Structure 1
Amino acid sequence: MSLVVYMASFLLALAALLLRRPRRTARSPLSIATRATAFIAAVCFFWSAPVTLAAVNHAVGVSNIGAPLTYSSISALSCSLIILLIHWRGGPQERIRRMTRMAVAVYGTLIIAIVALFCLAGSHEERLRDLDTYYANTPYMREMITLYLLGHLASTIVLSAVCLKWARDEVTGLLRTGLRLILAGLLLDALGFTLAKVTAVVARWLGYDLDFLSTNVAPPAAALGALIYSAGFVLPRLASAAATERQSLATYRALRPLWLAVKDVATTPPVAEPTWWQLWWQLPSSRLYLLEANIRDALLQLTAYVDQRVGHTTYAAAVQRGEGRERARVASEKAMIIDGIRRASGSGAGPADPPEKFRVTVDLVELAHVVHRHQRAAPQQMGIQ
C-alpha cells in the first residue's frame, strides 16, 4: 500500500512544482493557494504511508505519534481545499479574506483538538494500517478519529455542493471540465475513503468487523480521488500557463533575427544569457525575458551608430505619402535602427550623426520582422522600404 500512497504523493508534489509562477510574475493568491493545496496533499499522503508512520514512531519514540500527524495533515488538506475554492470563485477581497480566516480558524481548532485528544488517550500498541478500527472504542482516541473524519466529510460536502452549482450554471470550457474532475474526485473520496472509514469504525462500535473497508478500500480510493480532484484544480491553470508559454516561445523565435543582427554591437556581456545545454529546461517566458533584456541593451549601445538624418528623411517621406504622425515616427525609428545596424557592421557610408537622445519605443517583434525581411532581401545593404 505504501507504494500506491507514495506514488500519489510524488504526482501531487510534481503538480505543485509545475504550477510554479515564472519569475517577474506578480504573486497571485489563487496561484499560491493552488500550489499550497497540491503540496499539502503530497505531504498528507507521504505521512499516511505505513513505512513513513513506522519511521516517525521509531524516530520520536512514541507509539502511534504518526496518527495525529496524519490526521492533522488531512484536516489541513481539507482546509486548503476550501480556501482554494474561495480564491477560485473570486469576489470582493474583504469577503475572500473573511471566509479564508473562518476556514483557518475552524480547521485550526480541529487540529488542536486532534493533538490534545491523542495526548489524553492511551494508545501504546503500534498500529500502522488499522489504527482507526483498532482504537475505535478507546476513550479519546475514539473522539480523535471521529473528529478528523467529520472534518474531512464536511469539507467534501461543501466542496461538492459548490462545485456542482458552478458546473451547472456559471462556467464553461476548461473550467467546467476541471469542476467535473473535482466532483468525480470528491465523490470517490467521499464514498471510497470517508464512508468506508466511517462504516468500519461504526461497525466496531456495534461489535462487527468490517476492518477491510478501512485498511484495503479507503487508502487507494483516497489516493485516486486526490489525484483526480487535484487534476481538476490544476488543469485550468496549467492550460492557461501552457498558452502563455506557447506565446512566449513564438515571440522568442520571432526576436532571434533581431538579436543575431545586434548582438555584435554590444560591448558588455549579455544579461545572463543561458547556454545551449540550459535551454531545454528553462521556461520560454524566462528565455524571452533574458532575450529582450539583451536586445534592449544592444540597441542602447547602437545609439553611436544611429544617424538622425536618416530618421528625418524617412519621417518626411512618410508624411508626404499621407501617413499619420505616429506611423511616420515609427518608420523613422525603424530606419535609424536598421541603418545603425548596417553602420555597426561596417557597411555604412560616412560618419553617423547620432541624436542627443534616442529611445527605442518601437515594438521589438515588429522590428525583428523588418530586420529579417531586409536581411533576406539584401544581406549586404539594408534599408527601409
Structure 2
Amino acid sequence: MTSGPGDLGFYVCGFVLLLVCAAKLPALARRRHDTLLRASCLLLFAGGCQMILAAPRSIVTLNRVTGIANVAAPTVYAVTTTFAGASLLLIINWRPGPPGLTRRWSRWCVAAYSSVVVAVVALFWAGDAPVEQVTLFDVHYATTPFIREMIVTYLVAQGVAMAAAGVLCLRWSLQVHGALRAGLRVLAPAYLLIVCYDVLRLVAVAARWAGRDLDFLVDPVSVLIATPVAVLGAVGFALPLAGPRLARTVRVLRQLRQLAPLWRALRHVPTPGAVRAPLPWWRTPPAVLLTGRKTALYDAILALAPYCDPEVRECAYRAALLHGGDGARAAATADAAMLLVARDRQRAGLPQPAGTPSMPVRQAWDLLPLSSALASPSLPYLLNRLATPQKAAHHE
C-alpha cells in the first residue's frame, strides 16, 4: 500500500498529541507523584505514537529499517495496548473515589496491561510471520500459531479497557454537570466505537478460523471508525479543560456587549483624578477589558454625582411607571435618564443642582440594568418630557 492522504491525517493527529504531551512535561517534572498527570501524559504519548506508527508509510518504513517482516505489527499493538491501559488508568484516577480503592485499581490496571504488552511481544517472536502485511495482518495471520494468540490478546485487552472506560464515563456523567459532563458524554461513545472496532476485527479473525472470508470488516469497514474516534476523543478530553474557560470568556463577552450602550453614553465623561489606561480590545484579554470598562463607568458615574438631580429621577420614575414599566425596570430607566441629564448639564457647564448629594441616589450602581435601560424605547420619551436636548435622546 502506498502512502496517501491517510498518512497525513495520521501524522498530524500524532504530532499534535505529542506536542500537547510535551507541553505537560514541565508540570510532570514538578509533580512527579501526581498519578492523574502521569496517566494523562502516558495517554497523550501513547496516542501520539500510535497515530504515527499506524500510518501505512510508517509500517512499511519500520519493517524495512529493522529488516524484520511485520515487526510493525507487535510495535503498533503494544503501543495500542498501552494507550488502552492509559485510558482506563486516566478514568480511574480522574473519577473521584476512595484513595485506597483508586490506588488498588490503578496498580491492577498497570500490572494487567504491562503483562499484555509483554505477551504481545513474546507471542510475535514465538510465531512466524514472513510475508509483509500492511493493512490485513490480523486476518492474514489469523490461523498462524502464536500470531493468532497475539492478535486476539491485543484486541480483547483493548476492547475490555475501552468498554470499561466507556461505562465509567457514562456512570460518572450522571453525577457531574457542565463541561465535565459534556466531555464524558463525548468520550463514552468514542470508547464504545473502539469496542466496535475490536469486535469487527475479532469477527473477521473468527471467520478465517471457520474457513470464511470477511476481510472487508478489517479494511475498509473498521478503518472508517478511526476518524470519528480521533475527533470524539480529542473533543472529549478538551471540553473539561477548555470548557470552563470558554464559558467564562463567553460570559465576559456577553457582559461587554450588554454594557455597550452605557459605555457609549459615558465614555467621554471627564473623570478628574481617575487614571484610565488605554486598553486596546485587540490585545487585551476580555476579562481585563471588562474590569477596566466597569472601573471607567463607575468613575464616570462618580464624576456625574454632583450633577445628578433627585427631582429629575423622581419625575422620570413616575413617567416610567405610567409608561408600563415595573418597579425595578422603572427605577433603572429613571437612573439612566438622571445620568444622561447630569452628563449634559456637566458638558454644558451648567451649575450643579441645589441641594444635590455628593453621591448618586443609588449607592450601589448595577451597571447591566442601567445599560439595558439606555436601550429602552421609553427613554427617549422620558428625555423629551425632561426637556433633554435631542442629541441626548439618541444617546450620542
- TM-score class, shorter: 0.5 to 0.7
User: Deviation of residue 84 (structure 1)?
Assistant: 0.4
The counterpart of 1:155, out of the listed 156, 161, 172, is 161
After superposition, the C-alpha distances for 1:31-69 in whole angstroms (9 at most, x for unaligned) are 332233122111111111111111111111111111111
Residues 1:108 and 2:134 are matched in the alignment? no
For 1:334-345, list aligned pairs within 5 A.
none
TM-score for both structures, normalised by structure 2: 0.57
> Which structure 2 residue ranges, 5 or more long, are not aligned?
1-5, 251-273, 278-282, 287-396
The counterpart of 2:210, out of the listed 206, 210, 214, is 206
Q: Residues 240 and 87 from structure 1, CA distance in 2 versus in 1: closer, same or farther, beyond 3 angstroms?
A: farther
For 1:214-293, list aligned pairs within 5 A.
214-240=218-244
> For the residues of structure 2 that align with 1:23 and 1:121, how far apart are their CA atoms?
39
> For the residues of structure 2 that align with 1:5 and 1:215, how far apart are their CA atoms?
16
| 1:76 corresponds to | 82
| 1:33 corresponds to | 39
After superposition, the C-alpha distances for 1:53-106 in whole angstroms (9 at most, x for unaligned) are 111111111111111110000110011001100111133433322211110100
The counterpart of 2:21, out of the listed 16, 21, 43, is 16
- Matching residue's letter, 1:47: L
Q: Residues 89 and 54 from structure 1, CA distance in 2 versus in 1: closer, same or farther, beyond 3 angstroms?
A: same
> For the residues of structure 1 that align with 2:12 and 2:227, how far apart are their CA atoms?
9
> For the residues of structure 2 that align with 1:119 and 1:217, how far apart are their CA atoms?
29
TM-score for both structures, normalised by structure 1: 0.59
| 2:56 corresponds to | 50
User: Deviation of residue 8 (structure 1)?
Assistant: 3.0
> For the residues of structure 1 that align with 2:57 and 2:28, how far apart are their CA atoms?
37
Q: Which has the larger radius of gyration?
A: 2
Q: Residues 132 and 213 from structure 1, CA distance in 2 versus in 1: closer, same or farther, beyond 3 angstroms?
A: same
Give the CA RMSD over aligned residues. Answer: 3.7
- Matching residue's letter, 1:89: R
| 2:192 corresponds to | 187
> For the residues of structure 1 that align with 2:24 and 2:248, how far apart are their CA atoms?
13
> For the residues of structure 1 that align with 2:28 and 2:139, how far apart are their CA atoms?
48
> For the residues of structure 2 that align with 1:46 and 1:155, how far apart are their CA atoms?
22
> For the residues of structure 2 that align with 1:199 and 1:56, how far apart are their CA atoms?
28
User: Deviation of residue 132 (structure 1)?
Assistant: 0.5
Please tell me whether the aligned partners of residues 121 and 140 of structure 1 are also in contact (alpha carbons under 8 angstroms). Answer: yes
Give SS of 2:218's match: helix
- Matching residue's letter, 2:85: C
> For the residues of structure 1 that align with 2:28 and 2:229, how far apart are their CA atoms?
32
| 1:4 corresponds to | 9
- Matching residue's letter, 1:183: A
Identity %: 31
Give SS of 1:216's match: coil
Please tell me whether the aligned partners of residues 15 and 234 of structure 1 are also in contact (alpha carbons under 8 angstroms). Answer: no
> For the residues of structure 1 that align with 2:42 and 2:211, how far apart are their CA atoms?
41
| 2:141 corresponds to | 135
Give SS of 2:220's match: helix
After superposition, the C-alpha distances for 1:105-136 in whole angstroms (9 at most, x for unaligned) are 00111111111110010101111111001000
| 1:88 corresponds to | 94
Q: Residues 238 and 136 from structure 1, CA distance in 2 versus in 1: closer, same or farther, beyond 3 angstroms?
A: same
Please tell me whether the aligned partners of residues 124 and 146 of structure 2 are also in contact (alpha carbons under 8 angstroms). Answer: yes
User: Deviation of residue 216 (structure 1)?
Assistant: 1.4
